[in-house]
Amino acid sequence: MKIRFHGAVRTVTGSLHIVETAQGEIVLLDCGMFQGRRQEARERNERFPLEPKRVKAVVLSHAHIDHIGNLPSWVARGLRCPVYATHATADLCGIMLRDSAKIQEYDAKHVNKNRRPHERTVQPLYTAEHAEATLKLLRAKPYHDWFEVLPGLRARYQDAGHILGSAGITLEERHNGSVKRLGFTGDVGRDQRVILRDPEPLEAGADVLLSESTYGDREHPPQADLHEQLAQVLERTIKRRGRVIIPAFALGRTQTLLYAMYKLQQAGRLPKVPVYVDSPLACMATGIVERHPECYDGEAKEILRDEGTLFAVQGYACITDVADSKALNESRDPCVIVSASGMCEAGRILHHLLHHIEDEKNTILIVGFQAEHTLGRKLVEQWETVRIFGRRIERRAEVVTLNGFSAHAGRSELAAYLEKSRPAGPLFLVHGDEKQGLAFEDFLERERGFPDVRLPHEGDEWKV
């Protein structure tokens, strides 16, 4: 078989790797959306390296938009084939792709409203119908069991411990008496995270291994102190009768926080206040996490058995209605509000920031990665004046950043995972900025004795 690199090469978004079997059949590993500035993102998401009709199967690693989000574009242009995913990923695809289609349609409408008379109208990248057509192609598979992708080609999922349903993938081809194996890590999580199991290494000895490299040049702080730090922030703020506003990604981070708050409550460390999750997508994602205990670690299974739910935080309420969301800002009583978007670029979190940022009693708690130029990054950098909805606002609220919640392995954790998954052939690094990738390549070769680590360019091919 042959692997051709297309997306997530020397960058972190748009995961897409093209496999061509010995019989000349095409299989995609992931089909992610490229996320970035509007024009560039649009161009990259509409650049198809081959006729979508030719694809015979898609194998997805997990339900983050940068791994699944461009699939409806391919479907809109003729892709009609089985799309494999774990059971939890298949469920999450439902909410993530429908939400993404809504954003695409809203975005096109917004651009058209503001266009000048000589400019052409913009079509959404894809629509709700394309998302629905994509969901019909999904075929859910359990972890660990080999399944046939095409005659002569089988695949197996192993838990990647990154988000619910996330998996590393092994592809195995049998052709003319020879057996070839390709490993793909997807995104790799960290050991000892709440709810999820630890990442399972892929079987060593593959003919080629593709690995993510998001934090290839960085270590994460230990997770052990994290709950203590969270407890201190909550206690301090509530004691001064303030509110804690937490921007968080709907899938993953929100559920981790709820779980952490439940644990604090059990330990008597969470003051009795309401905990609101104000994001329809986050509420749906939480519901899906509850429906997939097959993905839980031992502790989460125990809590489910004792409490009947993983998210048994007292005072927890899910807010979906816009009116209820607005009502949260009519009172000043202490509470915790978790809302999206995670980088404070859009969504309901902006309204909550607007209403709370000027009061020094409140705390804005940052728990996720904040890209450059976002409002979230400015908050991390402790800017004293920020712009929200075009208004200059003075920030008086305390801003606290907790970095330990990352869903990605740091450098040493990822290297340890790769040592257990050591391939017989080359190790290709994808899904990392060039700087991270180069640093990690160097680290793996010098410090961990990997003989052949490569950073591919778009369009590079490798024959297994």
Per CB under 5 A, residues contacting Zn ion are: 64, 187
Instruction: Taking each helix axis as running N to C, give the angle between helix 280-290 and helix 87-113, from 0 to 180 degrees, rounded to the nearest 10.
Output: 170
Euclidean distance between CA atoms 378 and 26, whole angstroms: 44
Bond before 341 cis per omega within 30 degrees:
yes
Is the Cβ of residue 262 or residue 428 nearer to Zn ion in the bound state? Answer: 428
Nearest to 166 by CA among 216, 98, 93, 100: 93
**Residue 209 CA: distances (Å) to CA of 148, 318, 328:** 20, 41, 49
Is the Cβ of residue 143 or residue 462 nearer to Zn ion in the bound state? Answer: 143
Nearest to 30 by CA among 10, 12, 49, 16: 16
Is the Cβ of residue 64 or residue 355 nearer to Zn ion in the bound state? Answer: 64
Q: Least CB distance from residue 212 to Zn ion, whole Å?
A: 8
Q: Least CB distance from residue 411 to Zn ion, whole Å?
A: 17
Q: Least CB distance from residue 27 to Zn ion, whole Å?
A: 20
Is the Cβ of residue 64 or residue 227 nearer to Zn ion in the bound state? Answer: 64
Is the Cβ of residue 198 or residue 445 nearer to Zn ion in the bound state? Answer: 198
Is the Cβ of residue 88 or residue 399 nearer to Zn ion in the bound state? Answer: 88
Q: Least CB distance from residue 308 to Zn ion, whole Å?
A: 29
Long-range pairs for 449-452 at CB < 8 Å and ≥24 separation?
A: 450/418, 450/422, 452/425, 452/426, 452/427
Is the Cβ of residue 159 or residue 187 nearer to Zn ion in the bound state? Answer: 187
In one-letter notation, the amino acid at residue 63 is A
Nearest to 412 by CA among 238, 218, 152: 218
Euclidean distance between CA atoms 28 and 45, whole angstroms: 15
Q: Least CB distance from residue 87 to Zn ion, whole Å?
A: 18
Is the Cβ of residue 4 or residue 64 nearer to Zn ion in the bound state? Answer: 64
The residue behind tokens 């989460």 is 300
Is the Cβ of residue 26 or residue 284 nearer to Zn ion in the bound state? Answer: 284
Q: Least CB distance from residue 187 to Zn ion, whole Å?
A: 4
Q: Least CB distance from residue 13 to Zn ion, whole Å?
A: 10
Is the Cβ of residue 67 or residue 356 nearer to Zn ion in the bound state? Answer: 67
Q: Least CB distance from residue 36 to Zn ion, whole Å?
A: 16
Q: Spell out a b/e string for 305-331, using b for 16 or more CB atoms within 10 Å of the CB, else e.
A: eeeeebbbbeebebbeeeeebeebeee
Euclidean distance between CA atoms 24 and 22, whole angstroms: 5
Is the Cβ of residue 35 or residue 329 nearer to Zn ion in the bound state? Answer: 35
Six-digit token string for 204? 């060593």
End-to-end CA distance of the chain: 5
How far is C-alpha 233 from the chain's CA centre? 26
